[in-house]
Chain A
Amino acid sequence: MTEPVLRIEGLTAGYGSVDVVRDVHLEVGKGEVVALLGPNGAGKTTTLRALSGLVKASAGSISMDGQDLTGLTPAARACRAIAHVPEDRGLFRGLTVAEHLRLGPRGERLDAQLAYRYFPALPHIADRRAGVLSGGEQQMLAVGRALARRPSLLVLDELSLGLAPVIVEQLLPVIRAYADESGCAVLLVEQHVHLALEISDRAYLMAHGAGSDSHDAAALRRDRSVIQASYLGGQEWTPTADREKERDGEMQ
């Protein structure tokens, strides 16, 4: 297999002295859409924030195209073609839609036309401030802005938060289409599990800060028991069982 775009190995991260995420492994390949699923408090958002550098990782490594990201600031990581749409959408209320599509790191020109092509509603509201847009429009802008940066890794945190399911159903296929067309790697966290699995190639499950091995999205769609177990607790879900055993062995 070729080098994945994103490789997270043994990531441990948290807030203060409390680790929220422990020993998480995941990979995302080129053109692949990977979902990160799990109940509230599982550590999904923290994993994404650690990936972007907003949370410091206390152990493990995160690498993009084989290059280690450790020690880089969030801004420097963003400049490595990571586009992260956070839970709060990461917009600036005082800036207009058009200004958002001009706002990039030094030396990077955003492709506003690309955003307008994927979200045809955006050109009509180009002069409005982000603060007065509806939730759906804001999310379109957030995703459109991320796409306009032509990232090699797109990170999406709860696109569906606060949106009607019908809008989510419109947004997610756009992500799939973009990944297929551009070869961008996509890592998404989503509470609408079935919608996420429909557009994903693979999925990782998380619970209580521990991650699982990779699952095939199609298999998860067919067999809901694994996911139910990860949300509700049960035998079917083993958080990366082998590694867990190894670690127990070491401790004893």
Chain B
Amino acid sequence: MQTVVLFALLGLGSGAVIAGIALGVVLSWRGSGTINLAAGATVMVAGYVFWAVRTGFFGFALQTVPAIILTLLFMALYAVVVELVAVRPLRSASPLAKLVASMGVLLLTQALVLLIFGTSPLNSPSVLTSDVVSVFGVAVPEAQFILAGIVVVLAAGLAALYRFTRFGLATRAASESESSAALAGLSPNVISLGNSVLGHVATGFVGILAASIVGLSATTLPLLIIPALAAALFARFTSFGIACAVSLLIGISESLLYQASNESWFPTQNGSAVPGVQQVAEFLLIVIALWWRGSSLPLRGDLVERSLPMVPDQDRLAARVAPVAIACAVALVVLPSDFRQAVTTGLVATVLCLSFVVIMGYVGQLSVVQLALAGVAGFALSHLEAAYGIGFPLGPILAIAVATVLGVLIGASALRVRGVTLVVVTLAAAIAIEQFVFANPDWGGGQSGASVESPTLFGLNLGTDASFRGLDGSLPSPVFGLLALVVTVVLYLFVANLRRGDLGRRMLAVRSNERAAAAAGVNVRAVKIQGFAIASFLASVAGVMYAYDFRTVSANSYGTMSALSLVASVYVLGVTLVQGGVLAGFGAAGAVIPLILQTWVLPENRVSVYMQLIIGTGLLIQLRFCPDGLLVASATKRERRARASRAAKALTAVGAKPQGGV
């Protein structure tokens, strides 16, 4: 009992950090209707900046108090920049676009922090007292209690601010109806900016204080957004008190879970506790929150009509696909080995990106679990082979089936959830799969990864080590690349054709208005499930191909941040267009574009961070200037021109003169 209380108290510190992030999430939602995925990164930014000014990283070292003040000023400035770059330009955009923008901020800030401060975690100088109090004879740092107290006071202060001040009243009003607020003389822009600054400063303050307790790491801190989102969901993105209380409870539970993992009754594998239970618990918590607190967020009345990206027609498919396919085939034979490898990886990543096109572009559901599903398929393939001796072609078929079923299950658990909240579920699911499955020594690859045999059919090796070599005579063999090319072209045509068919039209109906679609006789649930099934299938195929491509599967290849980068790059190029999937695929880690950059442009060792930087920046620029995506913008322009010329032709055909004016 005593240890339980002790560990519960030790969880207060991380609970307080989660609470700080959750408060920031609630403030962003109420201020501008953005689900701010970058709120976790706010803690990271504040922590690193404080560390830098406190320890003299920038050439000057300040005392604690001036350092805190300077950091908070920086956070206010950071909030203004984020607001002007990623929030204000998207006022008229769909909630999905707003969320993707916050994803861009997350990718960008994380890349910047990694580039400036390096990848290894830092020890921040402690701000709060380093005294300890004795609880049941065990020393507990006092700072834990102080931090938790500060967070509770912050939450109470914010609640009071919203309840009693004009600013709070105005925010509540504007979050209900922006047009009514504007007519009442309240400027939604100013309100949004105020909340953004408030949120970043509050979250940053908690981040500064907590950095010495939870540690400074650019890879773990941004992901604290997951438990924070769970807490915010319980609070319906509205109540500061509930968000804070749930966050503290999550922190305490995690600490208790950690303690329990040392107990004899806790499930173990090979003598150590099963990894990833905490992440699975967070995922389940989010699913529970969504079922319990209702299917949707409180509605926001935005000033401007929400617009969805256009979905251009798919015409002249063969003429478009053939040259690219032939070019790839030639490249697979002719190019030097590292480029052959990159082309193959690009083809595989294309299949993965096609799954985003289906689920995000056609059905309008933002799901980021695909890369994790690909990982599941890859690991399943490896284990089917190692444990049961099931090889090609039955092995990949089974692996794809397993991962597809899992994807459909995740989709089904989120059926009541639409659009924006879905990303929360899938993000949590992706991280849970990553920690619970991939890091598991038996089911996943553990630390080292699991190997995969090359596919053979009738004694013919189809893998990357086949005897037929490229022109320079080295590995990898073009055979697998050509196989991947065939699969990719088939799936590309399938997804492009989906857009033209009946199911595609139903998907688009669901995307633009679920209720209207249901009223028009579309079975919304069935369409969504089909969308999830197709997307999961595509992702699983990609996962199997990845496994064969590298002949090994490891948890790193399917990390959540890489998944976010992929989603972002598909979005930049045009999530509604298959061509966007292809380009994004060739820009994915290990594919052609990063290889070109790595070979000729960028310093060699950090190309993935630079790619993340480029994608994050590209995303923010694209959302600002052509919100539909780069390729979609040009495709719609072409379509419009074609329509105009058709109309002109029709006019001249009937002998009418084109008329001026309207």
A: which residues have CB within 8 A of B? Answer: 52-54, 73-76, 78-79, 84, 86, 88, 90-95, 99, 102-106, 108, 145, 149, 251
| Contact residues in B for A105 (Cβ distance below 8 Å) | 184-186
Given contact pairs A90-B177, A102-B166, A251-B661, A73 touches B172 in the complex (Cβ within 8 A) = no
Would you give the shortest CB distance from B173 to chain A, in whole angstroms?
A: 4
- Are A104 and B184 closer than 8 Å at their CB atoms? yes
Sample of 8 A–B contacts (CB below 8 Å): A54-B182, A88-B180, A90-B183, A92-B172, A92-B176, A93-B176, A94-B172, A108-B185
- Are A104 and B183 closer than 8 Å at their CB atoms? no
- Nearest 7 Cβ contacts at the A-B interface: A105-B185, A78-B185, A74-B182, A90-B180, A75-B187, A92-B173, A92-B176
| Contact residues in B for A149 (Cβ distance below 8 Å) | 185
| Contact residues in A for B248 (Cβ distance below 8 Å) | none
B: which residues have CB within 8 A of A? Answer: 166, 169-170, 172-173, 176-177, 179-190, 661
| Contact residues in B for A86 (Cβ distance below 8 Å) | 179-180, 183
- Are A103 and B184 closer than 8 Å at their CB atoms? yes
Would you give the shortest CB distance from B295 to chain A, in whole angstroms?
A: 19
Would you give the shortest CB distance from A56 to chain B, in whole angstroms?
A: 11
| CA of A104 to CA of B190, assembled, Å | 14
| CA of A95 to CA of B174, assembled, Å | 11
| CA of A106 to CA of B188, assembled, Å | 13
| Contact residues in A for B190 (Cβ distance below 8 Å) | 75
Given contacts A78-B186, A105-B186, 8 further A-B pairs with CB under 8 A are A52-B183, A75-B181, A75-B186, A86-B183, A92-B181, A103-B173, A105-B185, A145-B184
| CA of A143 to CA of B172, assembled, Å | 20
- Are B176 and A90 closer than 8 Å at their CB atoms? no
Would you give the shortest CB distance from A118 to chain B, in whole angstroms?
A: 18
Cross-interface CB contact of B182 among A73, A103, A106, cutoff 8 Å: A73
- Are A94 and B176 closer than 8 Å at their CB atoms? yes
Most buried by B among A52, A91, A92, A106: A92
Nearest A residue to B182 by beta-carbon distance? A74
- Are A73 and B180 closer than 8 Å at their CB atoms? no
Most buried by B among A74, A90, A99, A108: A74
Given contact pairs A92-B176, A93-B176, A251-B661, A103 touches B183 in the complex (Cβ within 8 A) = no
Most buried by B among A53, A79, A93, A106: A106
| Contact residues in B for A145 (Cβ distance below 8 Å) | 184
Would you give the shortest CB distance from B650 to chain A, in whole angstroms?
A: 21
- Are A78 and B183 closer than 8 Å at their CB atoms? yes
Would you give the shortest CB distance from A237 to chain B, in whole angstroms?
A: 23
| CA of A103 to CA of B179, assembled, Å | 15
| Contact residues in A for B185 (Cβ distance below 8 Å) | 75, 78-79, 104-105, 108, 149
| Contact residues in A for B173 (Cβ distance below 8 Å) | 92, 95, 103
| CA of A92 to CA of B173, assembled, Å | 6
Nearest A residue to B188 by beta-carbon distance? A75
| Contact residues in A for B188 (Cβ distance below 8 Å) | 75
Would you give the shortest CB distance from A202 to chain B, in whole angstroms?
A: 24
| CA of A79 to CA of B172, assembled, Å | 19
Would you give the shortest CB distance from A91 to chain B, in whole angstroms?
A: 7
- Are A90 and B184 closer than 8 Å at their CB atoms? yes
Cross-interface CB contact of B183 among A84, A93, A108, cutoff 8 Å: A84
Cross-interface CB contact of A92 among B180, B187, B661, cutoff 8 Å: B180
| Contact residues in B for A79 (Cβ distance below 8 Å) | 185
| Contact residues in B for A93 (Cβ distance below 8 Å) | 176
| Contact residues in B for A75 (Cβ distance below 8 Å) | 181-182, 185-188, 190
Nearest B residue to A78 by beta-carbon distance? B185
| CA of A104 to CA of B661, assembled, Å | 45
Would you give the shortest CB distance from B594 to chain A, in whole angstroms?
A: 40
| CA of A91 to CA of B172, assembled, Å | 12
| CA of A93 to CA of B190, assembled, Å | 22
| CA of A95 to CA of B176, assembled, Å | 9
Cross-interface CB contact of B180 among A76, A91, A106, cutoff 8 Å: A91
| Contact residues in A for B183 (Cβ distance below 8 Å) | 52, 54, 74, 78, 84, 86, 90
| CA of A92 to CA of B184, assembled, Å | 11
| Contact residues in B for A52 (Cβ distance below 8 Å) | 182-183
Given contact pairs A54-B182, A78-B182, A102-B166, A73 touches B187 in the complex (Cβ within 8 A) = yes
| CA of A219 to CA of B166, assembled, Å | 47
| CA of A99 to CA of B169, assembled, Å | 8
